[in-house]
Amino acid sequence: MSNLTDIIVTTACAAMAGAASIVLLNMGAGVGVAGLTGLGVFCVGSQLQNVGVRRRDRSRSEHEMRALKRADLINADQLAQLDERICERLGRIEAGIGEREGKLSSEIKLFETLLRQFAESMVKRVQLIEAAHAETAGHTRRLQARLQGQPAQASATPLAGPEADAQLLDTIQRSLIENRIDLHLQPVVSLPQRKLRFYEALTRLRTPDGALILPGQYLRVAEEAGLMSTVDNLLLFRCVQFIRRLTARHKDVGVFCNISAHSLADAAFFPQFVDFMRAHRDLGDQIVFELPQSSWDRMGQGEAGSVTALAELGFAFSMDHVTHLAFDFDALRKRNVRFIKASPALLLDPDLQIGGGIRAEDLGLYLSRHGIALVGEKIETERQVVDLLDFAIAYGQGYLFGEPKPLREDAPEPARPEPVAAAPVAPPAPPQPVGMAALFQARERRRAVG
Q: Rounded CA gap, 23 and 21, in Å?
A: 5
Question: What local confidence, expressed as pLDDT, does residue 287 receive?
Answer: 92
Q: Which residues contact 146 (CB under 8 A, 6 or more apart)?
A: none
* Residue scoring higher pLDDT (146 or 317): 317
Residue 161's nearest CA partner among 443, 436, 442 is 436
Per-residue pLDDT of 272-301, as tens digits, reads 888 888 988 888 889 999 999 999 989 888
* Residue scoring higher pLDDT (382 or 351): 382
Q: Which residues contact 390 (CB under 8 A, 6 or more apart)?
A: 361
How many domains is the chain partitioned into structurally?
1
Q: What percent of the chain has pLDDT over 70?
A: 70
Question: What local confidence, expressed as pLDDT, does residue 432 receive?
Answer: 38
**Segments forming the whole domain that contains residue 413:** 159-449
Highest mean pLDDT among 116-130, 209-223, 248-262, 408-422: 248-262
Question: What local confidence, expressed as pLDDT, does residue 6 receive?
Answer: 64
Asked whether residue 162 carries a pLDDT value surpassing 60, the answer given is yes
CB atoms within 10 A of CB 162: 14
Q: Is residue 139 part of a domain?
A: no
Rounded to 10 degrees, the C-alpha dihedral 181/183/184/189 comes to 160
Asked whether residue 240 carries a pLDDT value surpassing 60, the answer given is yes
Q: Rounded CA gap, 193 and 186, in Å?
A: 17
Question: What local confidence, expressed as pLDDT, does residue 318 receive?
Answer: 95
Asked whether residue 256 carries a pLDDT value surpassing 90, the answer given is yes
* Residue scoring higher pLDDT (9 or 56): 56
Residue type, 339: F
Q: Is residue 211 part of a domain?
A: yes
Asked whether residue 334 carries a pLDDT value surpassing 80, the answer given is yes
Range with the lowest mean pLDDT among 87-96, 329-338, 383-392? 87-96
The CATH number of whichever domain residue 383 belongs to comes to 3.20.20.450
Q: Strand 287-292 relative to strand 254-258: parallel, antiparallel, unpaired?
A: parallel
Q: Is residue 140 part of a domain?
A: no
* Residue scoring higher pLDDT (370 or 194): 194
Q: Is residue 438 part of a domain?
A: yes
Q: How confident is the model at residue 173 (pLDDT cuts 50, 70, 90)?
A: confident
Asked whether residue 135 carries a pLDDT value surpassing 70, the answer given is no
Q: Rounded CA gap, 9 and 418, in Å?
A: 95
Question: What local confidence, expressed as pLDDT, does residue 267 receive?
Answer: 83
Q: Is residue 135 part of a domain?
A: no
Q: Rounded CA gap, 402 and 189, in Å?
A: 10
| Helix 215-224 / helix 228-247 crossing angle, nearest 10 deg | 130
Beta bridge partners of 422: none
Q: How confident is the model at residue 377 (pLDDT cuts 50, 70, 90)?
A: very high
Q: Strand 254-258 relative to strand 212-213: parallel, antiparallel, unpaired?
A: unpaired
Question: What local confidence, expressed as pLDDT, does residue 291 receive?
Answer: 93
Distance of CA 435 to the CA centre of its chain: 37
Per-residue pLDDT of 79-127, as tens digits, reads 888 888 888 888 788 777 767 666 666 666 665 566 556 556 555 655 5
CA-based angle 432:435:437, to the nearest 5?
A: 145
Q: Rounded CA gap, 447 and 136, in Å?
A: 17
Question: What local confidence, expressed as pLDDT, does residue 355 receive?
Answer: 64
Residue 344, exposed/middle/buried by CB under 10 A (0-12, 13-18, 19+)?
Answer: buried
Q: Rounded CA gap, 217 and 215, in Å?
A: 5
Element (H, E) at 19: helix 2-26
Q: Is residue 25 part of a domain?
A: no
Q: Is residue 218 part of a domain?
A: yes
Per-residue pLDDT of 50-63, as tens digits, reads 777 778 778 888 88
CB atoms within 10 A of CB 140: 10
Q: How confident is the model at residue 420 (pLDDT cuts 50, 70, 90)?
A: very low
Q: Is residue 329 part of a domain?
A: yes
Average pLDDT score over residue span 403-424: 58
Residue 78, exposed/middle/buried by CB under 10 A (0-12, 13-18, 19+)?
Answer: exposed
b/e map 390-412, b = 16+ CB within 10 Å: ebbbbbbbbbbbbbbbebeeeee
Question: What local confidence, expressed as pLDDT, does residue 152 receive?
Answer: 39
Residue 168's nearest CA partner among 115, 114, 222 is 222
Range with the lowest mean pLDDT among 133-147, 212-226, 283-297? 133-147
Average pLDDT of the chain, as a whole number: 75
Question: What local confidence, expressed as pLDDT, does residue 271 receive?
Answer: 86
